[in-house]
Amino acid sequence: MAEGSIVAGVLAPHPPHLVYASNPPQNEPKAECGWEVLRWGYERCSKDILAQKPDVFLVHSPHWMTVIGHHFLGLPHFKGLSVDPIFPNLFRYHYELNVDVDLSLMIAEEAKDLGLTTRIMRNPDFRIDYGTITTCHLMNAAWDIPIVSISSNNSPYYFSNEVGQQQMAVLGEATRRAVEKSGKRAVLLASNSMSHRHFVTEPEIPEDMSHEHVYHHGQYLWDMELLKLMKAGKAREMLDILPEFIEMTVAEVKAGALTWMLHALGVPDYPAEVYAYGTVIGTGNAVVAWHHEQNRQEVAAHG
Ligand code: 2X7
Ligand code: FE2
């Protein structure tokens, strides 16, 4: 069997507003429009990623938070209704998805070997969190590629940013080892927003874009600093300042998805492609891809 590989990693945020605004048949509430820059950036990113023919999407979501260990979906099929607890008026999504259970178990096994606590979720009635659903929908609305869904262990909140990010780095290493052994072509999805201060009053029409804007200049500057490092191929430097970024912007990357993904990619030193940046209820969101396989091919061809 040929060695598996990580084709790409994507910072793939999950504001349910983006699904709401695109009116897929699975979502009950209907919108007129909204958040076009982010949605169209997502569309271009999805097109580029799907063109690389991945066998599986691996998604790490902050809205599946687990207290003891890192959990993995362990049944081949899940079906249900995912409702955003804060925005039930925007997101009531009927999902049906397939899981690559073999790869889930392989990652859990590698993680255990590296000292992490793991659990497999085998409750057929388990309700998949809206972060996972939103990110996967925006990346592949056809849902015709199986996923591996990984929980966010609570360690960054129970202990510290440093301890939490360290655990996510180990989980990233375990993920890479498992993907290589699996023989599969995997795309990693870090389901995280960036700066996370938000409005507290929703406009009467949620998609009224005259209400949507950067909410806090300092937080916007932090987002720009991180994006500058991503574009410059400086993931290591970005990881170094992540604990400070998290403190200054109450960032959702605290839950670990971005750190997990960058470590699975071996902490890339090549430029990432930024497809879009925009706010949703004032939070900073960017769609960013590290085209890992393309980069390796370019290095092999040109040194
Ligand atoms: O979960 C979210 C989020 N991370 C950002 C913006 C809006 C809603 O939900
Ligand atoms: Fe979120």
Q: What is the pLDDT of residues 56-72, one digit of tens each?
A: 999 999 999 999 999 99
φ and ψ at residue 99, rounded to 5 degrees: -115, 140
- Matching CATH number, 5-302, of 2.40.10.120, 3.40.50.720, 3.40.830.10, 3.40.309.10: 3.40.830.10
Shortest-distance ligand to the CA of residue 285: 1
Longest Cα–Cα distance in the chain? 56
How many Å is the Cα radius of gyration of the chain?
18
Average pLDDT taken over every residue of the chain: 96
Ligand 1 atom 1: residue of nearest CA: 15
For 131-147, the DSSP string reads HHHHHHHHH-TT--S-E
pLDDT confidence of residue 79: 98
Q: What is the pLDDT of residue 157?
A: 84
Q: How far, in Å, is the centroid of ligand 2 from the Cα of 269? A: 27
Q: 278 near 245, Cβ under 8 Å?
A: no
Q: Looking at per-residue confidence, does 200 or 170 come out higher?
A: 170
Q: What is the pLDDT of residue 163?
A: 86
Above 90 in pLDDT, residue 215?
no
Instruction: List, for residues 25-59, the tens digit of each pLDDT value.
Output: 999 999 999 999 999 999 999 999 999 999 999 99
Q: How many CA atoms lie within 13 A of 109 on its CB side?
A: 12
Ligand 1: lining residues by beta carbon, under 6 Å? 14-16, 193, 252, 280-281, 283
Percent of residues, the chain, with pLDDT higher than 90: 93
Tell me, in angstroms, the distance from the centre of ligand 1 to residue 27's CA. Answer: 17
Instruction: Give pLDDT, residue 68.
Output: 93
CA distances for 268 relative to 59, 89, 193, 232, 235, angstroms: 19, 39, 20, 11, 6
Residue to mutate (ligand 1; options 197, 279, 283; most atoms within 8 A of CB): 283
Q: Report the pLDDT value the prediction gives residue 162, as an integer from 0 to 100.
A: 86
pLDDT at 303 over 80: no
Q: Which helix (H) or strand (E) holds 87?
A: none
Of residues 155 and 15, the one with the higher pLDDT is: 15
Position 1 scores a pLDDT of 75
Q: Where are the beta strands (DSSP E) in 154-194?
A: 185-190
Residue nearest to atom 9 of ligand 1 (CA): 15
Q: In whole angstroms, what is the distance from residue 15 CA to residue 193 CA?
A: 8
Q: What angle do CA 27, 28, 33 make, to 5 degrees?
A: 70
pLDDT of res. 48: 98
Q: What is the pLDDT of residues 123-144, one digit of tens each?
A: 999 999 999 999 999 999 999 9
d(CA 52, ligand 1 centre) in Å: 28
pLDDT (mean) for 223-228: 98
Which one of the ligands is nearest to 281 CA?
A: 1
Which residue's C-alpha comes closest to atom 2 of ligand 1? 15
Residues with Cβ within 8 Å of 199's Cβ and at least 6 positions away in sequence, in order, are 211, 215, 281, 282
Residue with tokens 């960013």: 288
Task: Tell me, rounded to whole angstroms, the distance of Cα 128 from its chain centroid.
Answer: 14
Confidence (pLDDT) at 158: 84
Among the atoms of ligand 1, which is closest to the Cα of residue 13? 4
Helix or strand run (H / E) with residue 200 = none
Interval between CA 257 and ligand 1 midpoint (Å): 14
